[in-house]
Structure 1
Amino acid sequence: MKQITLFFLLLLNQMIFSQSDFNSESYRVNLSDIETNSFKKDSTANALIIYELGNSYVDKNDYRLRTEIKRKIKILNKEGFNKANVSIHLYNKKERKENVKKIVATTYNLINGEVTKTKLQEKDIYREKYDENHTLVKFTLPNIKEGSVITYSYTRISPFMFKYEGWNFQSDIPTLYSEYRTSIPGNWYYNIKLVGGKKLITNTSEIKKNCLEGGRGASADCGNSVYAMKDIPAFIEEDYMTAESNYLARIEYELQTFKGFDGTVNDYTKTWKTVDKEFKTDKDIGKQLRKSINIEDILPVEIINETDLLKKANAVYRYVQENYIWNGDYKIFQDVSIKDLIKNKSGNVSSINILLHNLLKECGIIVKPMLLSTRNNGFATTIFPVISDFNYIIVQATIDDKTYNLDATDPYLSFGDLPFRCLNNYGRLMDFKNGSEWIDIEPARPSNVMYQVKLELDEDEAISGNIISKRTGYHAINHKKSYYQNNQAYLEKLENNYPYIDISDFEVTSDGTTSQDFKESYHIGYNYEDTGDHIYLNPFFVTFFNENPFKLQERTYPIDFGYKDSYYYGFKLHFDDNYTIVESPKDKQITLPNNSGTILFSSQTLGNTISIILNIKFNKAIYEPEYYPYLKEFMSEIVNIQTNSLILLKKK
């Protein structure tokens, strides 16, 4: 026990010592900042934010929001040189615009034992129009080398108090210390949101009296706050994640209420009750949802005459899928027109799914619209209504007390399935009678991959047989799209993926583009390497994962697969009496913590047949960050099993 305690004390001292090499307590550059050229906590880092400070306040003279920025960065190697390129985004609307002043930037280098300073020149600062509402102010710090320390500071001035400056504590490089100070007059009331799940080491607030003065002796107190984090790891994107904005450690401000010195009050953040009312009467979506449609002008008579509501709903859904094309537009609150959709046969997501909504409603089916934010768009705010968070709309239909989430934008979806882009945890169901509510978004059915391989090794030393596969859920959707869009290219890709086998008699046996599964079968001939009296055979003609997708040292955000799934691979090889099994793969059983995933791998020889089974299950759609090292090892084992599980047969 004493040895363990001593070990952890030594480790703690080493970590403290490694961090003390940099001066993360101030903006001032120390000799140690310049001399230290490695970061032990993250050996992959190309640059490092040693210290950064933001300070936002309202100037009492011109009532403009000022944000002072200071940042000190260490350049560790050439790949970190891009951190010397700085862009400041400025917003403008009509005659009002943001501005930036007091840009000061310096590069520090250690040359022949002497510290040199190179300052940014005014002539090297550029302005660039980004779009109608944004301008970029750009500069690059001079004389950058490996080991340089750069500092820069500036003040952004804004007339837009509704856009109170947020602050990112985290970026794509590690940060030792990040602090944000704010001073907000009591006239302005903001909803303040801390995103990313990281803890603040400093979170203090105090009231400063009479920080802002108005006419006729009016004044306002200010809430002064300080927020700080330290030792923040780099945020690096990896597979199986939703939008970066969901996890990047930061603080955000949403203006709720403004109270003028003259007593006027403006509410900017509304309740869902108010939003429901406005949404119902909205000139775009609300108006289109209220439109009545003569189904005799649109739907075939056989659909209209169908008496089974579920079959009728399926038929209406299929009709919209097949006859109207989504133009890829996510702007759900603009250019919404059922009339134009019917005329042009193409439209945005709102037009298509509102047409579906209205047709189902006219057919006597209970329907409600649901607002979503897609995976790439980030999570919608649940604390208070932020309508701009939503970029997608679907339809919820209720038939015989069972609900179905529907989206007609994808012709390969089965009834009740949603596109993968919609699997973003929850949506807002707009019920205009009882009030809207949050609804969890979950896949309607399981997603599985199953392979059955049966081969024969005959007396002529030829190996051949059949492969049958079946995919369900989202695995089926992806393969349906690939096959039905270009079946020849699909087959060529299949053959190119496995050059050591010859494929013939390929057949798809599932029922069309909207089938709930995708089934295929084909005959193969296996071209193994002739090694005299021995035959080496890898039983995995198909691999579920070609490489481990998890490569980070540490992952601080969830592993979001979107859905639970499983993989099954069954292999059988029958051989005649001229051969015997010399070596076969060893059995393995691996389980993730809390039984959240399993690998079962077994090999069995009975008589002249060897059977191999690999069964992989992911029992969670979303894994918390603490599962990452286990999932990383889990995936490594899957790749290893598929790559190194050899069968050795010997001729008698």
Structure 2
Amino acid sequence: MRNLVVVLTLCFCVKTYTQNYDFGKVSKEELEEEYNPSDSSASATYLFKYRNTHFEYYGEDGFQLITEIHERIKIYNQEGFNHATKMIGLYKSGSDEEEVNNIKAYTYNLIDGKIEDTKLDRKAIFKTESSKYRDEKKFTMPNINEGCVIEYKYRVQSPFYSNVDDFVFQNDIPTKKLIAKFEAPEYFKFKVSMRGSLSITPKKEHRRGSLRIGSSDIDFSTEYHEYNLSDIPALREEPYVNNINNYRSKLSYELSYTQFPQSTIKYYSTTWKDVVDRIYKSSSFGDELKKTSYFQKDISALIGSVTDPAKKVELIFNYVKSQVKWNGYYGFYADDVRKAYKDHVGSSGDINLMLTAMLRYAGLKANPVLVSTRTHGVPLFPTREGYNYVVTWVKLPDDTVALLDATNKYNVPNVLPFRALNWQGRIIAENGGSGLVDLYPKTKSKNSMTIMAKIDEEGSIEGSYRSIKTNHRALSFRNSYNVANKDDYLEKLENRYYGVEISDYEVKNDTDLSKPIQESYKFFKESQVDIIGDKMYFSPLFYLKTSDNPFKLEKREFPVDFGYPSVTSYRVLINIPEGYKVESVPESASIALPDNLGSFKYKVVGKGNAIQLLVSSQINQSIVSPTYYEVLKEYFNTFIQKEAEQIVLTRI
């Protein structure tokens, strides 16, 4: 434990909230509450959220960033049980690391009219390493029941005072009361930026602080901000959002510079050029790109007789994918490329920096691209923490450009894993210069389906299904199918299609990445046709029709992110039973979204004892602006209704 010399007077704070918010003072009224009066659909509610971030001075260690957390959560039903698990992220670099201590936590239940509390056992607190730079402390509250209240508090001490975690004011459950404080000595100058839809105005004060160094007392001023909010609505996850956290109401404190007594100014707020220069000059980045001795012999043998640059890229890319397995760690720095190559396992930084170095060794123009994964958010400000991943960019002599990620053996050029499809990446050239590159693909991913179906007199259907999948549709299929137990996979497929019986299931090109996925099977399903009197009624897409519109909100404030452009098409051939004829079919339809964002085409033709259906739905943009939300929502409503329209057969 570090020897505390003196604690800044700024860390002494006066409670501005009522006694009911004191730790441990949970009331019967809170435990008896059956739902949130402002949001009856909420499975849980923050009754109180408190955060105090400030600085304390520790002898030879100097200033430390201290964050104190106190949270009280009401859990209404089982859907809210996930809020009983708390994860605390801790940053580390070299011998410096953040520490969490003073964890105190209780679960409160109302039993026979009396409040009973259950204390968190310290043995139930676990620490795990999530990456070279991140640890995680995790605990799950005991004795969780519907209607309980949980409460915990803890303190994080950090030597990284330039990294202030965002103040998040909006969560996926509502918040009744929130108090947040930030206080910094005059030696630290921060820029404050806000995002989200909430109107947030802090109370600001200048206060006095003092500290003792040796036998001297030093007085200084501090800048104090306090945020006091009530009844904050939830911001819940929605379909087709790259990361809902990008749109939460939050504040960021970015350190601009420090100026200590009798010292010069040290700037922290930087440009992207500064960030790139520091990353490139790091021994875990730029130096790793220069290392070649560990792979020279192998790569020379691999491409020794190859002159075609595109073939070199293919061979080296496939070689890295087959030789080094991703360990699941994110990061753009390499841990140790030599070790990763030798042990056949490494982080994303190890694998893709290794790939970049090999391509350069082969005489190709290749550079790393910094990426922020979808779960990490969008980097708005110049900071190394804005990125957490890296891929490889390569340019061929004919000016063809490809983005490569060797962390997955099923990845192909320009088909990055879905986690990496997040706006723009930052490419770093050999000289340390940088630029932006669009991570979203331009080529559409396709799923083309052909169905041959026959209806019997009992209203059952049987037939055959065949699909061809390309690009991201193929990647997604391979990632799920190739690692699954085949019996389980088939059972889940039958359940997804409401109990259809599937036989002769076959997949081609599941490991041949040069060809599209081909999936085929035979099917049988009872009661797919309604028989009323001498008529039959059915949707020509049967169990494959779309039945639910993912867009349900009246208004949406943020973009719709599909991840990649796509085309879904159906060609359905239906033989009707003998003794019946086609009485009516749905009218043809063609819908176009504005500005070529997408289209839907639907056409049914009935002739003799055969019916043919052609359906095509395509989205041409990876991201659709919220200004198009209403028309996009109506577009989905229209084609869902169209696919539900029925063909009518009548007995001859």
TM-score of Structure 1 vs Structure 2, range by shorter chain: 0.7 to 0.9
- What are the superposed Cα offsets for residues 531-579 of structure 1, whole Å, 9 maximum, x if unpaired? 6855555422562756555677887665432112221112233559843
Residues 312-338 of structure 1 show CA distances to partners (whole Å, capped at 9, x for unaligned) of 32333234334443343435535322x
Task: From 40, 44, 49, give the equivalent of 1:43.
Answer: 40
TM-superposition CA deviations, 1:103-160 (whole Å, max 9, x none)? 8999899x9xxxx99697xx95765553388778998899x995x9x79797858575
- 1:150-549 equivalences under 5 Å are 156=155, 158=157, 160=159, 162=161, 164=164, 166-195=166-195, 197-203=196-202, 205=204, 208=206, 210-212=208-210, 218-243=218-243, 245-263=245-263, 265-267=265-267, 271-292=271-292, 297-299=297-299, 303-337=303-337, 339-376=338-375, 378-379=376-377, 381-387=379-385, 389-433=387-431, 435-455=433-453, 467-481=465-479, 500=500, 508=508, 513-515=512-514, 517-520=516-519, 534-540=535-541, 543=544, 545=546, 547-549=548-550
Task: Identify if the C-alpha distance between structure 1 residues 629 and 263 changes in structure 2 by more than 3 Å, giving closer, same or farther.
Answer: same
CA-atom RMSD, angstroms?
5.1
Give matches, 1:119-130, under 5 Å: 124=119, 127=122, 129-130=125-126
The amino acid across from 1:131 in the alignment is K
1:131 is aligned, of 127, 131, 135, to: 127
8 Å Cα contact 1:56/1:165 also seen in 2: no
Task: Kindly provide the CA deviation profile for residues 17-46 of structure 1, in whole angstroms up to 9, marking residues without a partner as x.
Answer: xxxxxxxx9646699987986545422024
Quick one: distance in 2 between partners of 1:591 and 1:28? 59
Cα deviation, 1:76-107, whole Å, max 9, x if unaligned, reads: 66876887999999999989966559x89998
Larger mean CA deviation between 615-624 and 443-452 belongs to 615-624
Change (3 A) 1:40 1:615: farther
Flag structure 1 segments of 5+ consecutive residues without an equivalent. 1-24
Please give the alpha-carbon distance, in whole angstroms, between the structure 1 residues aligned to 2:126 and 2:301.
Answer: 53
Change (3 A) 1:261 1:214: farther
Identity %: 27
In structure 2, relative to structure 1, the CA distance for the partners of 1:365 and 1:486 (3 Å cut) is same
Equivalent residues, number: 612
CA distance in 2, matches of 1:507, 1:83: 41
Aligned amino acid, residue 354 of structure 1: L
Assess if the C-alpha contact under 8 Å between 2:440 and 2:622 holds in 1. Answer: no
Equivalent position of 1:7 in the other structure: none
CA contact (8 A) 1:304 1:363 kept: no
Partners of 1:311 and 1:98 in 2: CA distance? 51
The 3-state SS of whatever aligns with 1:44 is coil
Looking at structure 2, the residues matched to 161 and 296 of structure 1 have their Cα atoms a distance apart, in angstroms, of 39
Partner of 1:571: 572
Q: Deviations over 1:385-444 (max 9, x none)?
A: 224742333333343223211122323233332122211222221113261233221115
Instruction: Please say if residues 259 and 265 of structure 1, whose CA atoms lie closer than 8 Å, have aligned partners that are also in contact.
Output: yes
Compared with structure 1, are the counterparts of its residues 602 and 198 closer, same or farther at alpha carbon in structure 2 (3 Å cutoff)? same
> Following TM superposition, by how much is the alpha carbon of 1:645 offset from its aligned partner in structure 2, in angstroms?
3.9
Higher alpha-carbon Rg: 1
2: distance between equivalents of 1:374 and 1:68?
29
Classify the secondary structure of the residue corresponding to 2:473: helix
Partners of 2:73 and 2:496 lie apart in 1 by 46
- Helix, strand or coil for the counterpart of 1:172? coil
Rounded Cα–Cα distance in structure 1 between residues aligned with 2:373 and 2:86: 30
Q: Name the CA shift for 1:26/1:48 in 2 (closer, same or farther; >3 Å).
A: farther
Partner of 1:610, secondary structure, is: strand
Gaps of 5+ in 2: 1-15, 22-26, 129-134
Answer yes or no: is the 8 Å Cα contact 1:88–1:138 preserved in 2. Answer: no
**SS of corresponding position for 1:316:** helix
| CA distance in 1 between partners of 2:302 and 2:630 (Å) | 56
When normalised by structure 2's length, the TM-score is 0.74
Change (3 A) 1:440 1:27: farther
Q: Check whether the contact 1:214–1:261 (CA below 8 A) recurs between aligned residues.
A: no
Deviation for aligned residue 1:289 = 0.8
**What is the CA–CA distance in structure 1 between the aligned matches of 2:114 and 2:557, rounded to whole Å?**
37
Could you report, residue by residue, the CA deviation over 1:470-510 in whole angstroms, capped at 9, with x for unpaired residues?
A: 222211222345566679657776677666566559574x6
Give the Å deviation of 1:187: 0.6
Which residue type is aligned with residue 363 of structure 2?
G
